[in-house]
Amino acid sequence: MRYFLLYLSTFVPIVAKIILAPWNLKVAWLLYLFFTYVLLEHKKFNGHPVRAFHNLQRQAECCMIVGLCVSQWLPLAPLPFLLLLRGRHVTVDRLQFGFVFFLLYRYDMVQIVLVTLSIMASLQDVDEGLSDTPEKWHRACQRRLMFRSVQVLTLMLAYETWYTRSVLLVAFAGLKLVIWLYTVEDMPDKIEAVDGDPVKMLQGKSHRI
């Protein structure tokens, strides 16, 4: 349960951005969170496997990146999400996903560093070496949390002021610290690899938030 809550807390500060952002970015962030939630369910739905929803969430993240870039000139951040209507048979691989992050490069040291780290994270094989041993599962979950945290932080802090970045970063780190201190270590009774997303953070027995 700890890993899942740590993963979930990665997206919580986005709520603050939704409250403060212009209307076009509000819609874009809400769409991004919706497609993230679809993957968090981690279940087959309507005949589609988890792999399909993993790809859909990655497509939505690419649309969010394009929307953030476009919003610097025109209030049309939700527009790229229309591409999802035609993206059912399009598979976004790690290389393509990393390439899209280049759109966020600008003359800003924080953004340059985060975008570079996000590109590096997207090219890593998070699930490499995952087996049915708890030790390797823990390591894979930690790598997944680290990589996703970097990528989501890159989106949240893009084009923001130093003050806003500081507030979001404190909230981001604070939530994870509270969860780490007040939850117990995951002790899965079995390790289950799911096609399309082998690092399943809720393992073994059923859990409820």
> What pLDDT digit, counting tens, does each position of 165-190 carry?
999 999 999 999 999 999 888 777 66
Alpha-carbon distance values, 82 to 7, 62, 63, 85, 87 (Å): 27, 12, 9, 6, 9
- Examine residue 34 and state whether it is found in any structural domain, yes or no: yes
pLDDT in the model for residue 163 = 92
**Coil, strand, or helix at residue 8?**
helix
Q: How confident is the model at residue 109 (pLDDT cuts 50, 70, 90)?
A: very high
**Could you tell me which residue, 28 or 199, shows the higher pLDDT?**
28
Residue 201 has a pLDDT of 61
- Where in the sequence is the domain holding 64, given as residue range(s)? 2-182
Considering the domain boundaries, does residue 149 fall inside one? yes
Q: pLDDT category, 3, cuts 50, 70, 90?
A: confident
Tokens of 176: 């994870």
- Both tokens assigned to 51: 């792999």
pLDDT at res. 107: 87
Alpha helix (H) residue ranges in the chain: 2-9, 14-20, 23-40, 50-70, 94-100, 109-122, 134-157, 162-182
Residue 87 lies in a domain: yes
Question: What are the structure tokens assigned to 130, written together?
Answer: 């995952």
pLDDT of residue 205: 47
Question: Is residue 42 in a domain?
Answer: yes
Taking a C-beta distance cutoff of 8 angstroms, is the pair 105, 69 a contact? no
| Residue 122 covered by a domain | yes
pLDDT for the residue 94: 84
* Residue 206 clears pLDDT 80, i.e. is over it: no
- Please calculate the CA angle 83-88-90 and round it to the nearest 5 degrees: 80
Residue 4 has pLDDT above 90, yes or no: no
Q: How distant, in Å, are the alpha carbons of 36, 37, 72 from that of 29?
A: 10, 12, 15
Residue 193 lies in a domain: no
Number of domains in the chain: 1
pLDDT of residue 208: 39
What's the mean pLDDT when you consider all of the chain?
83
Q: So what's the pLDDT on residue 200?
A: 64
User: For residue 192, is it within any domain?
Assistant: no
What is the rounded average pLDDT of the residues 8-30? 90
pLDDT at 70: 92
Highest mean pLDDT among 65-74, 136-145, 180-189: 65-74
Asked if residue 93 is part of any domain, the answer here is yes
Other CB atoms within 10 Å distance of the CB of residue 50: 19
Would you state the pLDDT for residue 63? 93
Global pTM value: 0.85
Instruction: Quote the pLDDT of residue 207.
Output: 40
